[in-house]
């Protein structure tokens, strides 16, 4: 098929592949233009002659142009078809078909400026083809025979947004034809952001674990099949993220019912056998008729259990050197008949070293600990029945301590050079601390010895002749301290010693007193910026505050270190 305008040359505009097709519609002409047409028959490479004059026709200026189709996409209520505006059209006819079917008109659009239509009758899961003809009066334009296609996917219906311990769970209805879903999230005033791709059309829920506690989030979902997306609920569904739930493990001491609420008036959902570990929500309990009920996570849901039949894991508080060994302490456990104490060394396994036969006894001294060895301890509560012993869980980290024997005080001697105290070496010690007090006073550290081979110390600071002083010593290894001889060893100073004085400056108004601590009588006040002579090496810890002995106007007093700085 060839075409030309008057005075022009023939130009081929179509190839027709069937010998029985004897017509052709040219939809590409311009209104008001006269065109000439001619035809040549063809068989393989053989071509017939042609009528050089041809036949002519003028395209009426009243025939509207063929609309240019731009898209067919899913919307919330159906498939929306869009096309370009035809300037001389009165309106448009919209057609639809399925694969292998025939075009069927589905609507008439009566305005030439309306260039979209939403097909609300499209069934989800079906692929539709759409085309459009412009109309002016009774004259119809041509149409795009290929059309534009779209797989109809209904907008997912959002059914719930539930706050769970693991996050916010969003659920929606299944969409026919969907191969998967996309989940979106936003906060108020922001834009939607995709947070998940779900590759199964049958998965209709998603748990968002990335939210921040206390923040309200909005969620929406789009169905997807290949490159085709459904519409989406623009408002979304919202929920406020809860704080992460922490659990405490308990063990049942007998058959224990779990219920839908706190108290026996609520429905029973099941029974746990004795010795079962129960995950109890930390910090959540309800007192009903004098009994505490806990919220617990059981078999994928939250229920309530009575505390009467639960055994908690003991909370370890400390492991410290004592006179005869290492003393381990823990919290009291309700319902416990006693406790089992375990010990291990680094890289070793837990070994039972002792059993406490009273539920109210919350300490145990390991007298077999060897000086110089680091031990780790843990404790299990026990509950004894007629047929078995039920054990609680245990703190797998434990509490640790390096065993340091209490130094033995061997001698004390007073001389003109001061008072010399001696003690025995302690295995595992890296150094020692020496303490002094007068009768009725408190121990105050007067020396720190940073090696393990020095086993004596001469005190010649601030001694008053005729005064009896008591001394004791603790072994040191890093942050670990041995216990100490609480009675100490004593000697009477034979001569007074002149203390070494160090200049400090007050950082504010500062009282000085007759003894170390706020309970002693007030002797005077230093002005801010005053120079204070502090006795070197003499300090007293009173209720967490260090007090210094100071020399003022020929006498010795005491003041807090809080308002002093070295000059």
Position 235 pLDDT exceeds 90:
yes
Write the pLDDT tens digit of every residue in 2-54: 999 999 999 999 999 999 999 998 888 776 688 999 999 999 899 999 999 99
DSSP 103: -
- The H or E element spanning position 92 is strand 91-97
Residue 516 pLDDT level (bands cut at 50, 70, 90): confident
pLDDT at 555 (0 to 100): 81
Report pLDDT for 508: 94
Query: What average pLDDT does the structure give for the chain?
Result: 94
Kindly list the distances between the CA atom of residue 376 and the CA atoms of 345, 397, 426, 479, 538, in Å, as whole numbers in the listed order: 6, 8, 20, 15, 36
Q: Which pLDDT value is given to residue 358?
A: 97
Q: Per mean pLDDT, which range of 46-55, 176-185, 335-344 is the poorest?
A: 46-55
pTM for the whole thing?
0.55
How confident is the model at residue 339, as a pLDDT? Answer: 98
Percent of the chain with pLDDT over 70: 99
Q: Is the CB of residue 117 less than 8 Å from the CB of residue 74?
A: no
**Confidence at 457, pLDDT banded by 50, 70, 90:** very high
pLDDT digits (tens, 9 = 90+) for 426-453: 999 999 999 999 988 889 999 999 999 9
Tokens standing for residue 427: 């295995």
Task: Give 360-391 as a DSSP string.
Answer: T--EEEETTPPTT-EEEEEEEEEEE-SS-EEE
pLDDT at 158 over 90: yes
- The alpha carbon dihedral of 481, 483, 489, 492 has a sign of positive
- Which of 165-169, 185-189, 481-485 has the lowest average pLDDT? 165-169
Q: Which residues contact 324 (CB under 8 A, 6 or more apart)?
A: 365, 367
3-state helix, strand, coil in the chain (%, to 5): 0, 50, 50
Length of the chain as a residue count: 567
Tokens 């005077």 correspond to: 524
- Lowest-confidence segment of 264-268, 374-378, 555-559 by average pLDDT: 555-559
Predicted local distance difference test score (pLDDT) of residue 227: 95
Q: How confident is the model at residue 515 (pLDDT cuts 50, 70, 90)?
A: confident
pLDDT of residue 159: 97
**pLDDT at residue 277 above 70?**
yes
| Residue in 51, 49, 48 with CA at minimum distance from that of residue 37 | 51
pLDDT exceeds cutoff 70 at 59:
no
Specify the pLDDT at position 563: 93
- Output the pLDDT for position 435: 96
Query: Average pLDDT in the 241-245 region?
Result: 79
Contacts of 519 (CB under 8 A, 6+ apart): none
In this prediction, residue 32 carries a pLDDT of 65
pLDDT value for 61: 62
Contact present, 421 and 489 (Cβ < 8 Å) = yes
């Amino acid at each position: 098929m060839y075409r030309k305008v008057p005075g022009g040359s023939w130009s081929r505009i179509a190839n027709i592949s069937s010998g029985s097709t004897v017509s052709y519609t040219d939809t590409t002409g311009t209104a008001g233009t006269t065109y000439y047409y001619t035809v040549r028959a063809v068989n393989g490479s053989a071509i017939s002659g042609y009528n050089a004059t041809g036949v002519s026709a003028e395209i009426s200026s009243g025939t509207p142009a063929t609309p240019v189709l731009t898209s067919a996409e899913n919307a919330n209520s159906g498939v929306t078809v869009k096309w370009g505006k035809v300037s001389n059209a009165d309106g448009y006819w919209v057609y639809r078909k399925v694969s292998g079917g025939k075009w069927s008109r589905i609507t008439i659009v009566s305005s030439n400026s309306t260039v979209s239509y939403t097909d609300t009758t499209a069934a989800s899961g079906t692929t539709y083809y759409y085309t459009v003809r412009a109309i002016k009066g009774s004259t119809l334009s041509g149409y795009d025979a290929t059309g534009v296609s779209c797989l109809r996917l209904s907008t997912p219906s959002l059914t719930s947004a539930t706050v769970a311990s693991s996050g916010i769970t969003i659920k929606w209805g299944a969409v026919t034809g969907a191969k998967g879903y996309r989940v979106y999230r936003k906060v108020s005033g922001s834009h939607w952001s995709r947070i998940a791709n779900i590759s199964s059309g049958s998965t209709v829920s998603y748990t968002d674990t990335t939210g921040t506690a206390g923040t309200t989030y909005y969620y929406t979902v789009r169905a997807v099949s290949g490159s085709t997306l459904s519409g989406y609920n623009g408002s979304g569904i919202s929920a406020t993220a809860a704080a992460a739930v922490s659990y405490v493990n308990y063990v049942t001491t007998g058959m224990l019912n779990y219920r839908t609420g706190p108290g026996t008036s609520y429905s029973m959902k099941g029974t746990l056998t004795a010795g079962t570990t129960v995950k109890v929500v930390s910090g959540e309990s309800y007192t009903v008729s004098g009994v505490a009920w806990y919220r617990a996570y059981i078999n994928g849901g939250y229920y309530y259990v009575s505390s009467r039949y639960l055994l908690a894991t003991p909370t370890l508080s400390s492991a410290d050197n004592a006179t005869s060994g290492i003393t381990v302490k823990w919290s009291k456990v309700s319902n416990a008949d006693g406790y089992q104490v375990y010990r291990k060394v680094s890289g070793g396994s837990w070994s039972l070293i002792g059993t406490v036969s009273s539920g109210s006894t919350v300490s145990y001294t390991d007298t077999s600990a060897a000086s110089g060895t680091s031990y780790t301890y843990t404790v299990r509560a026990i509950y004894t029945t007629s047929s078995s012993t039920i054990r609680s869980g245990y703190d797998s980290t434990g509490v640790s301590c390096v065993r340091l024997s209490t130094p033995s005080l061997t001698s004390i001697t007073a001389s003109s050079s001061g008072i010399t105290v001696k003690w025995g070496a302690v295995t595992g010690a890296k150094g020692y601390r020496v303490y002094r007090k007068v009768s009725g006073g408190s121990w105050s550290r007067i020396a720190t010895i940073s090696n393990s081979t020095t086993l004596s110390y001469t005190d010649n600071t601030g001694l008053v002749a005729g005064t009896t002083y008591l001394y004791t010593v603790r072994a040191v290894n890093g942050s670990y301290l041995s216990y100490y001889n609480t009675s100490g060893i004593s000697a009477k100073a034979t001569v007074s010693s002149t203390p070494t004085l160090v200049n400090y400056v007050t950082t504010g108004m500062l009282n000085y007193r007759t003894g170390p601590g706020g309970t002693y009588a007030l002797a005077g006040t230093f002005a801010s910026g005053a120079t204070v002579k502090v006795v070197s090496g003499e300090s007293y810890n009173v209720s967490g505050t260090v007090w210094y002995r100071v020399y003022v106007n020929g006498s010795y007093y005491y003041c807090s270190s809080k308002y002093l700085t070295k000059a």
